[in-house]
Amino acid sequence: MKQTHEKPAAAKKAVTKKAVTKAVTKKAVTKKAATAETGGKKTVAKKAAAKKAVAKKAVTAKGAATKNAAATKKTAATAKEAPAAKKATSQKTAAKKKAPAARKPESRAAMVRRARRINRELAELYPYAHPELDFTNPFELLVATVLSAQTTDLRVNQTTPRLFAVCPTPEDMAAMDPERLEELIRPTGFFRAKTRSLLGLSAALRDRFGGEVPGRMEDLVTLPGVGRKTANVVLGNAFGVPGITVDTHFGRLARRFGWTTQEDADKIEAEVAALFPKSEWTMLSHRLIFHGRRVCHSRKPACGACAIAPLCPAYGEGETDPEKAKKLLKYELGGQPGQRLKPPAGYPGQPAPPMAAP
């Protein structure tokens, strides 16, 4: 009976042991599966990291290549621009050499010395300077000067031969039919106003001065259409009386040279006259007007071809490159005809052509 009771207990114990073993086995399997899963995840993460590193390396390599290409391109561009930069530097250096040094505030005495030196330099440059209107007597010069307002001396010189062929004296001109006179001087522009001035001054010369042009400033400025500028032209070139002719060229250069800051012609005349001996006034006028027409132009002065650039405070307002500036020169300096159909002896340029037939 004792054996019968022990057998079921042993069987029960075996079953329990088997269950425990099974549980342990199951736990081990679960642990193994968990370990495998963790390992799989680590492997995936590792692979992702490796892939990311490869991509990063590729981006870095691409960036380096781009950077190297840009550097190479920049080097090539620099090499290409080097000659142009060198040329620009050379031109700049040449301009600096020719440009006048920066000046301190100029004393009155220093300004007078510089002004007179400019006059001497211009005298050497234009030893043939002269009035650029064709004339043979004071009356022709007076008429031509009145006609020269708001037009070129060339246009006046092309117009006056026909005019003086018809009315060579004040008496002849005073008797002219206004419409006929207008037609003769039409090419000079503003012909109606100029006709009134010519008829008025001719009648005044006939009636008040015996048909002769007076040789005094106070008499000349009483004539219709005659101001100080015209009077100075006539006095200086027909009578040998020194005078300063302030036209647009003279005024512009006087300001650029620092001789005056005035805009009014009478004030410019007074200030410039104080810088020079009276004996120089007439020729000074011709020299400045010559230089203004040929070199020191209003819009684009030829600074690089100017003989007095080292003395000029306005150097650099125009073209400073010598070759480019040379192309801006006019009349005889530029190889072109002058303004007079009959230039005086010693003029190095070519005579101007007459007006084309209508």
- Residues marked as catalytic: 229, 247
Of 161, 198, 164, 158, nearest in space to 178 by CA: 198
Neighbours of 123 (CB within 10 A): 15
Ramachandran category for residue 225: left, alpha or beta (phi over 0 → left; psi -120 to 50 → alpha): left
224 Cβ partners below 8 Å, 6+ apart? 196, 197, 200, 201, 204
Q: How far apart are CA 9 and CA 16, in angstroms?
A: 11
Count Cβ atoms below 10 Å from residue 307 Cβ, excluding itself: 14
Distance CA 254, CA 264 (A): 12
One-letter amino acid of 331:
Y
d(CA 86, CA 208): 71
The token duo for 93 is 């250096």
3-state secondary structure of 346: coil
* Nearest Cα to Cα of residue 115 among 253, 318, 279: 253
Q: How far is CA 233 from CA 87, 133, 158, 182, 249, in A?
A: 47, 10, 19, 24, 14
